[in-house]
Structure 1
């Protein structure tokens, strides 16, 4: 029917537009967090955009169900507001007629969410863990940020540089080192990193002073040098451990007896199921009453979404703690929310109030 094609076109366009907006907002928030860590010297600036890309990819399966929920809600709300639903109802096309096309559209977006939940997100989580592991084992000079004291994990070095030039050279360098078994502090006008042919990494300090030992002790020394080659201890990159969130789905099926793995499996499956349940809520809340304003149904819909999300989080925690049977999983959340959605949709399809108040509470 023409009306079905109109629903497909408008709802899909609204869903994609909302998904794009949510992705941009999420990306900006993630970038702010990552740049803050880089500015504090907690993370290398060279991996900010890599982490940002993988983090954005890992959130696609979470944002798309919300975008589809809002897309269906806003589309049908506009039809109600412009009296298109009234005209369709007069022609014998009621609300329940749209259940089938909405679910067909949900199958399309559900396939994308499933691909993200079972493949793209675990892949992105594994890549994020690998990048963080490589950063943790990266050479010291790559972690130095201008104007920030940076501690090199595992080496005992603390670096500070007033300026970091584009070619990697440093100016106004301070280094605190414990590699000789005693405290040593070096101050140099400039420095530059270099690699030996065998792969060893050094930081050449130029025109500086070495303060070796504890001040006040007989063996305390102050040495001036033209060049001091500081060895940057090589670090062996270990394989990053795979968390349950990054575990491939095929490997996960063989470890479902583990509580964390079982909870993660139900969480991935729940992302797709939630999309279909939310579609029914969108149809039930789409009716717009002019007297209540345009935002009243949207506010209620957002509240229901947060309640649903929190219940899923509680269910996953209970599954991890063993409070719920692994077979039950979080099906009780989806089942309960689906039953309520079906009831509300039935009430709306028969032009009844979504919540019937007791007679004594009604205005007579």
Structure 2
């Protein structure tokens, strides 16, 4: 049918365009946070874009339902504003006719959301934890950022380099450490990292500098100038990062849930399963609200229905977050899961859809009784 093809084409293109805009906004926000942490020295600059990629992958199952929701809403809203829905209604094509193409298009977006929620998001979560763990256990040299005083974990050294060249050479080096009860400060014009071929130990060769050792004013205080000083880089032990519940592969999550369903820890696996499935279910429930809230006319502002739709989305998503927390704390039965939220929101949407299909107000207020 020509109408359905036109709807598929416009709704799909609008949804993809909105998804792209949301993706760009999310990437920019994440990049700002990650670069801020890198500047503070909380993580290496080398892992910023790796973390950005995995964080973006982990959010696709959230962006897709929202993009589809707004895409359906804006498509039908334009048809209402341009009187296309009025013409179609005069030809016998009512609002309920669009439920089938909306749900058919929803199957495609729902399948992508399902794959993202059950595969890509757990995968990205695991990789993010591994990258963070590797970054926190990186060597002192890898933790140094130019122009930032960096405290090495475990050794207590404070290292500063004015400039780090592409080949790894350092300029304007300052090192402060406490060894054998003596405070030592190393200052050097330049330095370069190297690895001992016999022992495999890593060092920084400091050139043309001065060593200040001891407390100023005491008898043991001394100042030594040197041409080359080899500063040993303490190795760090790296252990595999623990996998959070949100990062468990789906088959492992199901196995853990089956084995622990009668124990207390089973509540966490149960909540995670419902949360992953709930993202796909929410897409279809939001599609109902998009059809309902798309109605507009020339007397209304173009943004009024969009504002209400955003409010509905935030109410729905917050209810799901609260319900997941209640499920984790066993405030609701495990079998109930998040179904009571999905069911309640779906019933309200179906009621509104019935009212809209019969050209009635969404909320019928009782008529006022006049005075005698």
- 2:172 aligns with 172
Say yes or no: does 1:271 pair with 2:302. no
Q: Which runs of 4+ in 1 moved over 6 A?
A: none
- Structure 1 distance, partners of 2:236, 2:143, is 14
- Structure 2 distance, partners of 1:249, 1:305, is 27
Residue 222 (structure 1) shift: 2.2
| Change in 2 beyond 3 A, CA 1:280/1:361 | farther
Conservation of the 8 A alpha-carbon contact between 1:54 and 1:128: yes
- 1:204 aligns with 205
- Structure 2 distance, partners of 1:220, 1:213, is 5
Q: Deviations over 1:205-251 (max 9, x none)?
A: 11112222333443333222211111111112110100111111111
Say yes or no: does 1:248 pair with 2:264. no
- 2:230 aligns with 229
Residue 123 (structure 1) shift: 0.4
Deviates more, 1:218-227 or 1:62-71: 218-227
- 2:338 aligns with 330
- 2:365 aligns with 357
Residue 67 (structure 1) shift: 0.2
Say yes or no: does 1:294 pair with 2:302. yes
Determine helix, strand or coil for the equivalent of 2:334. Answer: coil
Alignment of 1:71-220 (within 5 A): 71-197=71-197, 198-220=199-221
Residue 132 (structure 1) shift: 0.9
Residue 331 (structure 1) shift: 1.0
Deviates more, 1:115-124 or 1:169-178: 169-178
- Give the TM-score, by structure 1 length: 0.96
What runs of 5+ residues in structure 1 fail to find an aligned partner?
A: none
- Structure 1 distance, partners of 2:142, 2:321, is 39
- Structure 1 distance, partners of 2:320, 2:217, is 62
Conservation of the 8 A alpha-carbon contact between 1:155 and 1:179: no
Say yes or no: does 1:312 pair with 2:282. no
- 1:48 aligns with 48
Say yes or no: does 1:37 pair with 2:54. no
- Structure 2 distance, partners of 1:217, 1:160, is 26
- 2:66 aligns with 66
Residue 325 (structure 1) shift: 1.5
- Structure 2 distance, partners of 1:143, 1:230, is 15
- Structure 2 distance, partners of 1:113, 1:191, is 51
- Structure 2 distance, partners of 1:326, 1:217, is 69
- Give the TM-score, by structure 2 length: 0.94
Q: 1:344 aligns with which of 334, 352, 365?
A: 352
Deviates more, 1:190-199 or 1:38-47: 190-199
State the superposition RMSD in angstroms.
1.5
Q: Deviations over 1:164-200 (max 9, x none)?
A: 1222111111111234453222111111111222432
Say yes or no: does 1:321 pair with 2:339. no
Q: Deviations over 1:51-76 (max 9, x none)?
A: 11111111100011000000000000
- Structure 2 distance, partners of 1:215, 1:266, is 64
Deviates more, 1:211-220 or 1:16-25: 211-220
